[in-house]
Amino acid sequence: MITANARAVFNPEGPFKLTTIERRDLKPHDVLIEIKYAGICHSDIHTARGDWGPVQYPLVPGHEIAGIVTQVGSEVTKYAVGDRVGVGCMVDSCGECVNCHKGEEQYCLNGNTGTYGAIDRYGQYTQGGYSTHIVVTEDFVVKIPDSLELDVAAPLLCAGITTYSPLRHWGAAPGKKVAVVGLGGLGHMAVKLAHAMGAEVTVLSQTLKKKEDGLRLGADHYYATSDPETFKKLAGSFDLIVNTVSAEIDINAYLSLLALDGTLVNVGAPAEPLPVQVFSLIPHRRSFAGSMIGGIRETQEMLDFCAEHNITPEIEVISANQIDEAWDRVLASDVRYRFVIDISTMEEE
């Protein structure tokens, strides 16, 4: 067993405490990664607080992992010691079902193994990236292009791929009007990526507080959803709406903003249902869809796209003893635009 230092919550309310966790000894296809940075995703908070169902404590969250390979198993071919690598929201899948064969491991019919809070194929409870080391099978590791620093690469492993995948799937491109609801971790990546794909981008945020940022990040238009005029003015406008909001919103109001054949894709994952009126969809042949992260191949494609187009998240680097504070700020929508933990501070009081 390999012992790693980690920050864990021991109950839904926290706080985080420094602890140690065990990582398995390397299997032939495993790599050991020394984690340098870990992003804080709103999903970490949903999970730890039990929004999505019961979890086992202690829980070490973190699925936006960037680090360096420090050891490889005897049959590893894809990575070598010293490589700069990333790990996202999953660390394994069955590898045999039709969806795994398509490279869509996130939709594994036998359930992919979450980076934390899941039972892996060895019967061990997985623990995430708020830790110093992780052991992952090489097929679930991606290469971080040289031009991307590790701190800004980390959030791409979830916020980046979760927005890249639906933008690609639903064809964000020149001539398409894309709206992004919520300018947080996922939302600000959606703006940057949709802009780089050539779409006309609109941000729909609760207020105009972050308007300057939104336009700087690549949005062409910016509206406050607290203003009822916004919904009148933009009715029937968008080909694609990406909803990144972590809380319940009136989804019918947003569906009314879709043009003919438009799609609203939900990536935000609140605990509450989002009830849809069928007449929000029928009159303009609209679709309401969901999307979950992205496959490993597409995650590599996204990293390469970000390197090529010089796209990186806006981050605030924190030390490990500031995670509780950072979570409070995420819950208050006070994040510009992703917190990233500097793992070298793991043992600081």
Q: Which residues of this chain interact with Zn ion, rule CB under 5 A? A: 41, 43, 158
Nearer to ligand NAP, 308 or 334 (CB): 334
**What is the closest distance, in whole angstroms, from the C-beta atom of residue 246 to ligand NAP in the complex?**
3
Nearer to Zn ion, 46 or 211 (CB): 46
One symbol per residue from 64 to 103: x for binding ligand NAP (CB under 6 A), - otherwise; what is it?
----------------------------------------
One symbol per residue from 152 to 171: x for binding ligand NAP (CB under 6 A), - otherwise; what is it?
------xx--x---------
105, 296 Cβ separation under 8 angstroms: yes
Q: Which stretch binds ligand NAP (CB under 6 A): 6-14, 78-86, 113-121, 268-276?
A: 268-276
> Binding of ligand NAP at residue 271 (CB under 6 A)?
no
Tokens linked to 322: 């500031």
- Considering only residues 213 through 252, tell me which ones interact with ligand NAP, judged by CB under 6 A: 244-247, 249
Nearer to ligand NAP, 227 or 348 (CB): 227
Nearer to ligand NAP, 23 or 63 (CB): 63
**DSSP 8-class letter at 13:** T
**What is the closest distance, in whole angstroms, from the C-beta atom of residue 185 to ligand NAP in the complex?**
3
> Binding of ligand NAP at residue 268 (CB under 6 A)?
yes
Nearer to ligand NAP, 30 or 213 (CB): 213
- Considering only residues 296 through 315, tell me which ones interact with ligand NAP, judged by CB under 6 A: none
User: Which one of Zn ion, ligand NAP, none is in contact with 196 (Cβ closer than 5 to 8 A by kind)?
Assistant: none
Among 91, 118, 190, 293, binds ligand NAP (CB under 6 A): 293
> Binding of ligand NAP at residue 114 (CB under 6 A)?
no
CB nearest ligand NAP: which residue? 184
Nearest-5° Cα angle at 101, 155 to 287: 65
Nearer to Zn ion, 88 or 214 (CB): 88
238, 258 Cβ separation under 8 angstroms: yes
Give dist(CA 231, CA 146) in Å, integer: 43
307, 147 Cβ separation under 8 angstroms: yes
262, 283 Cβ separation under 8 angstroms: no
User: Which one of Zn ion, ligand NAP, none is in contact with 93 (Cβ closer than 5 to 8 A by kind)?
Assistant: none
Tokens linked to 72: 């490889």
Return the closest-CA partner of residue 243 out of 276, 284, 197: 276
**What is the closest distance, in whole angstroms, from the C-beta atom of residue 185 to Zn ion in the complex?**
8
Q: Is the dihedral of CA 308, 303, 166, 342 positive or negative?
A: negative
Q: Which residues pair with 198 in a beta bridge?
A: none
190, 163 Cβ separation under 8 angstroms: yes
User: Which one of Zn ion, ligand NAP, none is in contact with 292 (Cβ closer than 5 to 8 A by kind)?
Assistant: ligand NAP
Helix, strand and coil in the chain, % to nearest 5 = 30, 30, 45
Give dist(CA 226, CA 251) in Å, integer: 14
> Residue-wise over 89-108: b if at least 16 C-beta within 10 A, else e?
bbbbbeeebebbeeebbbbb
Indicate the residue type of 182.
Answer: G
Distance of CA 5 to the CA centre of its chain: 23
Task: Name the site residues for ligand NAP (rule: CB under 6 A).
Answer: 41-43, 46, 158-159, 162, 182-187, 205-206, 210, 244-247, 249, 267-270, 291-293, 330, 333, 335
